[in-house]
């Protein structure tokens, strides 16, 4: 019974995560219409100047934070990724034997991981098109 609960919890945690490949699969027709260079960048989970907001979501997923900024000539939307490091899934097992009894347990958790490739990325869009991409190293 504990094993079944663990499998269900792990499945739910993994479903919350997505990769460029899973996002491509969900939007295959749109992806197939993109030029080869755009397809390659999306597969690698990178964003380039000129990408549409749809292409950004396909490459990086939904942003951790969105806000607007006003420049001298335009209003821009800023999408931040990796705020807090980005999500990760952890799985733990434990066993104990004390005082004639024994026990075991399992856990699944979603935590923040600074090694997320999207960590500390800002994408700036103007009229739904990427005009700037900022990546911060650790």
DSSP calls for 32-88: HHS-HHHHHHHHHT---TT-BHHHHHHHH-S-SEEEEEE-SS-EEEEEEE-GGG-EE
Beta bridge partners of 79: 66, 123
When pLDDT is cut at 50, 70 and 90, the band that residue 137 belongs to is confident
- The residues near 29 (Cβ < 8 Å, ≥ 6 apart) are none
**Alpha carbon distance, N-terminus to C-terminus of the chain:** 42
pLDDT band at 29 (very low <50, low <70, confident <90, very high): very high
CB atoms within 10 A of CB 42: 25
Nearest one of 59, 52, 51, 48 to 24, comparing CA atoms: 59
Structural domain span for residue 66 = 2-135
- Helix, coil or strand: residue 109: strand
**Is the Cα dihedral 41, 46, 51, 52 positive or negative?**
positive
| Count of structural domains, the chain | 1
Residue of higher predicted confidence among 46 and 87: 46
pLDDT in tens, 69-115: 999 889 999 999 987 544 555 556 566 555 666 666 666 555 544 44
């Amino acid at each position: 019974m504990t094993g079944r609960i663990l499998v269900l919890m792990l499945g739910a945690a993994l479903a919350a995560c997505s990769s460029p490949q899973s996002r491509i699969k969900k939007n295959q027709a749109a992806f197939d219409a993109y030029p080869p260079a755009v397809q390659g960048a999306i597969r690698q989970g990178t964003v380039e100047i000129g990408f549409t907001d749809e292409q950004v979501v396909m490459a990086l997923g939904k942003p951790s934070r969105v806000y607007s900024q006003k420049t001298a000539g335009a209003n821009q939307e800023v999408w931040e990724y990796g705020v807090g490091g980005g999500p990760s899934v952890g799985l733990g097992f434990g066993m104990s034997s004390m005082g004639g009894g024994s026990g075991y347990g399992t856990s699944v958790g979603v935590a923040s991981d600074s090694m997320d490739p999207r960590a500390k990325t800002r994408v700036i869009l103007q009229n739904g098109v990427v005009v700037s991409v900022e990546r911060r190293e650790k």
